[in-house]
Amino acid sequence: AQTVTQSQPEMSVQEAETVTLSCTYDTSESDYYLFWYKQPPSRQMILVIRQEAYKQQNATENRFSVNFQKAAKSFSLKISDSQLGDAAMYFCAYLSGSARQLTFGSGTQLTVLP
């Protein structure tokens, strides 16, 4: 079974600064998908960014980018120019190549300080 590990239960960042959230995963598959989801307080979980394992180029969505290290099985999220609205619980998730189960890490609570 695949496992996803987020070793930082809590992180904080000053507004306008940059923060990196860590994620590692364990799999024997070569084809899979990785995601970062955001869950604001009392609101729906939404997708932040997605990475296909077969793509070497790191995914980027505006202020959000990832550092995907396939050999190291590492998938970190970088948030640039942090905003107060970025405060949320962030989950790293893994989807197998067969697109069957979606497995989540334990989450990182991000606080943005004004």
Partner 1 sequence: EADIYQTPRYLVIGTGKKITLECSQTMGHDKMYWYQQDPGMELHLIHYSYGVNSTEKGDLSSESTVSRIRTEHFPLTLESARPSHTSQYLCASSHLGTDNTEAFFGQGTRLTVV
Could you list the residues that contact partner 1 (CB under 8 A)? 1, 33, 35, 37, 39, 43-47, 50, 89, 91, 93, 95, 97, 99-104, 106-107, 109
Q: What are phi and psi of 70, to 5 degrees?
A: -65, -40
Residues near 40 by Cβ (< 8 Å), separated by ≥ 6?
Answer: 85, 87, 88, 89
30 vs 114, beta carbon nearer partner 1: 30
CB of 45 to partner 1, least distance (A): 4
CB of 19 to partner 1, least distance (A): 18
Residues near 92 by Cβ (< 8 Å), separated by ≥ 6?
Answer: 4, 6, 21, 23, 25, 34, 35, 36, 75, 77, 104, 105
CB of 98 to partner 1, least distance (A): 8
CB of 18 to partner 1, least distance (A): 24
32 vs 79, beta carbon nearer partner 1: 32
Q: What letter does residue 59 receive in the DSSP assignment?
A: P
16 vs 99, beta carbon nearer partner 1: 99
